[in-house]
Amino acid sequence: MMRRLAPDKFATINFPVADLPENCSTNFLLHRKTSTITVDNPLNPKLLVVTYPSLFPSMNFFYGKADRIPFIQHILKELNQPTDLVILDSMLPLIGNYWPIRFSIPVLFLAAQNGNWRPQISNDPKVRLLNPLDAPKLGEAFYNDPWLWEFFFSPESLINEGQAVAAFINGEIACVASTLAFTKDYCELGVATRPEYRGRGLGLECCRTLSRLQYEQFGRIPCWRTDFENYASRRIAHQLGLEELQSDENYIFLSNYQHVGAYATVAP
């Protein structure tokens, strides 16, 4: 009875995904026309999988009960190309039985505390909001980091539908912070700095400006998705005033291929 749904049909099923920092990417994808939504039973769903197939490797977010063995097994059989999963840790033993795990890392979520957080002000003159004319420069400067705009498909769509803030040095983009995803209450930030400009604090200044714009224009507070070993990413998040989330159940990023010399998209 497994069913694929168009994103505009998600509201017809009873499977609420709360607007929480750890659900920011999923809630964003639930409203993208290019996403694929799969449920085990549209009348009484216990398992939800949200896929963004436009990416390669494709990204799949699993939600629900780990005991839905036949349905999870059915989905995994179809994922025989290079694929990334984000799952609840309770699902790991089951998925490991039916799917070749070649890469695994716990996901760390951080977020501002709603009601207690206020945006910081950046006075760095090198930092500004990008406009549509900047899209080619952004794509050229970070052609190896398409995760910055992966849920928007292109730098142009990111700038038109989301926001990106960059630091410029000698007319070139040295660092950029982008809205990886957003909901009514949250914006998930990502940041990247070109190697030759690292160590100058540009990432923090870009994130300060972007989080302030998101807060003042849309009322969104920032959240962050990274891993425990990405110390530079965690440091920026903490400097923004974000705190590590505590949960009864954690998330894990999995791949069925090796990340040899690659950068897993779990982390900004």
Listing DSSP states for 148-161 in one string gives: GSTTTSSHHHHHHH
How far apart CA 139 and CA 150 sit, in angstroms, is: 12
How far apart CA 147 and CA 153 sit, in angstroms, is: 9
Residue 5 pLDDT: 66
Residue 184 pLDDT: 96
**Among candidate residues 123, 217, 221, 209, the one with its CA nearest the CA of residue 166:** 209
Residue 59's region, left for phi above 0, alpha for psi from -120 to 50, else beta, is beta
Q: What is the dihedral of CA 268, 31, 43, 88, to 10 degrees?
A: 0
Q: What is the third-level CATH fold of 3-107+250-255?
A: Aminopeptidase (3.40.630)
Q: What is the pLDDT of residues 21-61, one digit of tens each?
A: 999 999 999 888 888 888 888 888 888 899 886 767 888 99
Residue 267 pLDDT: 45
Distances (CA, A) of 150 to 71, 156, 173, 228, 252: 28, 11, 19, 22, 19
Residue 96 pLDDT: 92
- Fold matches, 3-107+250-255 and 111-244: yes
Give, to the nearest 10 degrees, the angle between helix 202-218 and helix 231-239.
Answer: 50
Neighbour count for residue 6 (Cβ, 10 Å): 11
How far apart CA 226 and CA 238 sit, in angstroms, is: 12
Distances (CA, A) of 14 to 9, 38, 244, 261: 11, 13, 30, 41
Token code pair at residue 255 = 């791949």
Residue 8 pLDDT: 65
CATH assignment of 111-244?
3.40.630.30
Residue 82 pLDDT: 92
Domain map (residue ranges) of the chain = 3-107+250-255, 111-244
Residue 145 pLDDT: 94
How far apart CA 65 and CA 206 sit, in angstroms, is: 39
Mean pLDDT by groups of 10 residues along the chain of 268 residues? 63 80 92 85 85 79 86 88 92 92 94 86 92 98 94 95 98 97 97 96 97 97 94 95 88 88 48
| This prediction's pTM | 0.89
How far apart CA 150 and CA 138 sit, in angstroms, is: 13
Residue 268 pLDDT: 44
How far apart CA 194 and CA 141 sit, in angstroms, is: 8
